[in-house]
Amino acid sequence: MHVLITGGAGFIGSHLVEYHLGRGDHVHVVDNLSTGSRKNILPYLEHPEFRFTQEDVLTWSDLEKTVGWADRIYHMAAVVGVFRVLEAPIQVLATNIAACERLLRAAAHCGWRPQVVIASSSEVYGPQGRIALHEELPLVITPGAPPRWNYAISKLADEAFGISFARQHDIPVAVVRLFNTVGPRQTGRYGMVVPRFVHQALRGEDLTIFGDGQQTRSFIDVRDTVIFLDQLAARAPHEGLICNVGHDAEITIEALARRVLERSNSSSRLRFLSYEEAYGQVYEDIPHRCPSTARLHAFTTHRPTWSLDATLDDLIARLRIEEEG
């Protein structure tokens, strides 16, 4: 199989690279390295079935040719992370929407119907209350569109493009709403909570909790996520599919911080910051976010094999090795 991964030097993208090369597939990554890292794909640069192009999907001149080569495309390229989203709201909209539309247009024009996976986000659900979020729910966007919602709006636009191209051009598109994917190679630089807590715990720093810590999230290991993405890509109908990808076990952010302290045997303390202290502006958080996985399990045979504790233990062990090295 020929696999194109946009944003493939990023966290999830690099795990897709590893997964597909392990199966003997040919993999081409395009990434402008604005949030991805060359370090994430360094082990594969000399692999005979791997090719890396440092380009922006918005302007890459070989996009149509490479889309025509691909049997499957994972579109993971986007401006991501709370800090990036708040700092560059216009870039979020322009980049995330235009890049997705350009890629889908290339797929429609290439004379070939590759399987396409478009990375959306649980952010599109908005503030829903304490319910399991399922794909048929009406979506909630706060009036006035504060900067944090630009990311959700951009991903919702990508979803609409994906389903529209699927139906009009007979392209099998799977739109995946990702829920808090965690694991090796994820950076806390842009606001991701698990790597930030682990780094702080191992360095003896205070674990900084934004808000009161009672907001809940559900976490899934990236090594489970990539298997789900593979199976959804292979089974997406030609009229398109929207599907949550996540784990249905919830935990509060305060409980997560305490779990990190316990697993790392750290003497660090918890420090609570207001959202304005953390982000430098008013921020509307989501109090609860947990996916319904009924549709995911209807379309796939995989079940998560990594518990949150196992993922935390793995991350703690890896970071200890890095710190000692």
Residue 12: which CATH number? 3.40.50.720
Q: Facing residues of 241 across strands?
A: 174
The answer as to whether 176 is a domain residue is yes
With CA atoms as reference, report the closest residue to 44 among 75, 4, 15.
Answer: 15
Q: Residue 118 burial by CB count (10 A; 0-12/13-18/19+): exposed, middle or buried?
A: buried
Q: Which sequence positions are flagged as catalytic?
A: 151
Q: What percent of the chain stands above pLDDT 70?
A: 93
Query: With 90 as the cut, is the pLDDT of residue 251 above it?
Result: yes
DSSP state letter for 271: E
Query: With 90 as the cut, is the pLDDT of residue 83 above it?
Result: no
Query: With 60 as the cut, is the pLDDT of residue 145 above it?
Result: no
Specify the number of domains making up the chain. Answer: 1
Q: How far apart are CA 171 and CA 108, in angstroms?
A: 7
Query: With 70 as the cut, is the pLDDT of residue 156 above it?
Result: yes
The answer as to whether 323 is a domain residue is no
Secondary structure (3-state) at 285: coil
The answer as to whether 229 is a domain residue is yes
Q: What percent of the chain stands above pLDDT 90?
A: 77
- Domain of 111 in residue numbering reads as 2-182+219-248+288-304
Using 50, 70 and 90 to split pLDDT, how confident is the model at 246? very high
Average pLDDT over residues 204-217: 95
Q: How far apart are CA 27 and CA 49, in angstroms?
A: 6
pLDDT at 276: 82
The answer as to whether 259 is a domain residue is no
The answer as to whether 86 is a domain residue is yes
pLDDT at 291: 97
**pTM for the model:** 0.94
The answer as to whether 130 is a domain residue is yes
Q: How far apart are CA 323 and CA 164, in angstroms?
A: 47
Report the range of poorest mean pLDDT among 84-88, 128-132, 178-182, 227-231. 84-88
Query: With 70 as the cut, is the pLDDT of residue 85 above it?
Result: no
pLDDT at 287: 87
The answer as to whether 149 is a domain residue is yes
CA dihedral 147, 150, 152, 155 (to 10 degrees): -160
The answer as to whether 311 is a domain residue is no
Secondary structure (3-state) at 191: coil
pLDDT at 20: 98
Query: With 60 as the cut, is the pLDDT of residue 256 above it?
Result: yes
Q: How far apart are CA 297 and CA 134, in angstroms?
A: 13
Q: How many CA atoms lie within 13 A of 230 on its CB side?
A: 22
b (16+ CB within 10 A) / e for 81-108: bbebbbbebeebbebbbebbbbbbbbbb
CA angle 173, 179, 185 (to 5 degrees): 100
